[in-house]
Amino acid sequence: KAGVTQTPRYLIKTRGQQVTLSCSPISGHRSVSWYQQTPGQGLQFLFEYFSETQRNKGNFPGRFSGRQFSNSRSEMNVSTLELGDSALYLCASSQTGGGDEQYFGPGTRLTVT
Amino acid sequence: QKEVEQDPGPLSVPEGAIVSLNCTYSNSAFQYFMWYRQYSRKGPELLMYTYSSGNKEDGRFTAQVDKSSKYISLFIRDSQPSDSATYLCAMMTSSNTGKLIFGQGTTLQVKP
């Protein structure tokens, strides 16, 4: 069974631009969670989607948004990029999101200049 | 105070040693506990998953959860240089769907 895939793997953007990251979950998994990983803050939860609905949200500004499609693939968007948005963005999939195992993708490394 | 505390290390051990990694937490509602291994510039890899209290063994890895003490552990037996990585504990409540709370991660180096 294929694992979680994320595209693109690397991205360089300029302050003020916007970016869209994509995540394809493991086949059969309906929950997708997004995380931001930085050296200073570690892994922090952004939001979780299940059946095309956002069920949970972390403490990030509204510039961070996401969506999920009917095939469970998910995208996250960051608008008006700031230097502090430079991070590794990880998505994880699970069958239900309700306490079952979460499997992570390789991440998208975003650099904002 | 962070919800999950984990000593960042680094922890350096000789090959073949038994490694003990630990996390403490403050939220008694946590019920699901996971350990991940993350190599540099890679995504976290799920090693162990435990629901509620108790022990779980998988090969060289043993996970323990003590909910009364709010303390979880991961033991690695016969450690290998390939085990050199950052180990992250993570936990979740039953009501906060999809949201894992992570420790800071412990950097482990196993020397040949």
Q: How far apart are CA B55 and CA B35, in angstroms?
A: 13
- Option in A31, A103, A109 nearest B98 (CB): A31
pLDDT score at B112? 96
Residue A66: the pLDDT is: 98
CA A89, distance to chain mean position in Å, is 6
| CB-based contact, B105 to chain A, within 8 Å | yes
Interface of B with A in 2-61 (CB under 8 A): 31-32, 34, 36, 41-46, 49, 51
CB contact A92 to B (< 8 Å): yes
Q: How many residues does chain B have?
A: 112
Distance CA(A87)–CA(A78), nearest Å, equals: 12
- Name the pLDDT band for B53 (thresholds 50, 70, 90): confident
> What residue type is A25 in one-letter code?
P
Under 8 Å CB-to-CB from B99, ≥6 apart: which residues?
A: A33, A45, A48, A56, A58, B92, B93
A60 CB neighbour count, 10 Å cutoff: 16
Is residue B80 scored above 90 in pLDDT? yes
Quick check: A46 and A112 in contact, CB under 8 A?
A: no
Overall average pLDDT of the B7-14 stretch: 93
How confident is the model over A84-112, as a mean pLDDT? 96
Query: Is residue B54 scored above 90 in pLDDT?
Result: no
Cα–Cα distance for residue pair A103/B49, rounded to 1 Å: 11
In whole numbers, what is the pLDDT of chain A averaged over residues?
97
Strand residues in chain A grouped as ranges (E): 5-7, 10-13, 19-24, 31-38, 42-50, 53-57, 64-68, 74-78, 87-94, 103-104, 108-112
Question: Residues 46 to 85 of A: which have CB under 8 A from any B CB?
Answer: 48-50, 55-56, 58
The reported pLDDT for the residue numbered B31 is 95
CA B78 to CA B86: how far, in whole Å?
17
Match 């979880």 to its residue by tokens: B72
Query: What pLDDT is stored for residue A15 in this prediction?
Result: 98
Give the DSSP H or E segment for A30: none
Residue A3's pLDDT band (boundaries 50, 70, 90)?
A: very high
pLDDT band at A97; cut points 50, 70, 90: confident
Where residue A2 falls among pLDDT bands split at 50, 70, 90?
confident
Q: Are A49 and A93 in contact (CB under 8 A)?
A: no
Write the CA distances from A94 to A4, A68, A105, B18, B67, integer angstroms: 10, 14, 12, 31, 24
Which has the closest alpha carbon to B79: B37, B34, B23, B46? Answer: B37
pLDDT score of A5 more than 80: yes
Start-to-end Cα distance in chain A: 37
How confident is residue B1, by pLDDT bands cut at 50, 70 and 90? confident
pLDDT tens digits, A38-92 = 999 999 999 999 999 999 999 999 999 999 999 999 999 999 999 999 999 999 9
In terms of pLDDT, which residue wins out, B92 or B54? B92
